[in-house]
Amino acid sequence: MTDSISTQTERSLKERLSDEMKVAMKSGDKTRLAVIRLIQSALKQKEVDERVVLTDADVLAILDKMAKQRRESIEQFKTAGRDDLEQQEAFELGVIQSYLPTPLSDAEIDTLIAQAVQSTGASSVREMGAVMAQLRPQLQGRADMSLVSARIKAALGA
C-alpha cells in the first residue's frame, strides 16, 4: 500500500513539474522554465544512469542535493562579490525549494533524533550510521543532513 502512495506522490510531483513547465512556456517566464527543465533533466539523468524509476524518496534526495548546491554557490558568489550570479542562484534555489516539503523545526528534528537514538539503542558515535539510516527517509528534503549529523554527534556525546 505504501508503494502505491509513494508512486502516486512521485507521479503527482512529476505531473506538477510538467504542468508548471507548460505554464512557464505559455507565460514566457524563461528563467523559471530553465530551472524546471534543469530539475527534470536531473531526474531523467538519474533514471537513465541507474535504469530505475525514481521513488518519491529519490526525487526528494535529488531536489535536496540541488538545493544544497545552490546554497553553497550563493555563499561562494557572495564572497566573490558576484551579485548577479548570487541572485540567479537564489532564484533557482527558490524554485527548487517550492517542490520540497516544508522544512522541520529544530524542535521536531531534535525529537526525531531522540526517538531514533532510543529505538536503535545507539550510545556512541560509532553507532551514528544506524541512527542516520533510520532518520534519512524522514528528514530527506526537510532538513540539512549535515546539520542533522552534527546534532546526532552532540546527542551521542561526541
Supply the range of the domain harboring residue 127: 106-155
- Are 110 and 93 in the same domain? no
CATH number of the domain where residue 121 is located:
1.10.10.410
SS3 105: coil
pTM tops 0.85: no
- Are 87 and 52 in the same domain? yes
- Are 88 and 124 in the same domain? no
- Are 57 and 129 in the same domain? no
Question: Domain end: 97, 127, 145, which one?
Answer: 97
The rounded Cα 105 to chain-centroid distance in angstroms is 15
- Are 87 and 115 in the same domain? no
Q: Give the count of domains, the chain.
A: 2
**What is the C-alpha separation between 119 and 98, in angstroms, rounded?**
33
pLDDT tens by residue, 81-113: 999 999 999 999 999 999 888 888 999 999 999
CA atoms within 13 A on the CB side of 6: 12
- Are 17 and 57 in the same domain? yes
Q: Convert 54-90 to b/e letters by CB count within 10 Å (16 or more is b).
A: bebebbbbbbbebbeebeebbeebeeeeeeeebebbe
Q: How confident is the model at residue 140 (pLDDT cuts 50, 70, 90)?
A: confident
Say yes or no to pLDDT of 5 above 70. Answer: no
Q: Which three cell numbers stand for residue 38?
A: 534543469
- Are 6 and 74 in the same domain? yes
Question: Domain end: 97, 117, 135, which one?
Answer: 97
- Are 11 and 64 in the same domain? yes
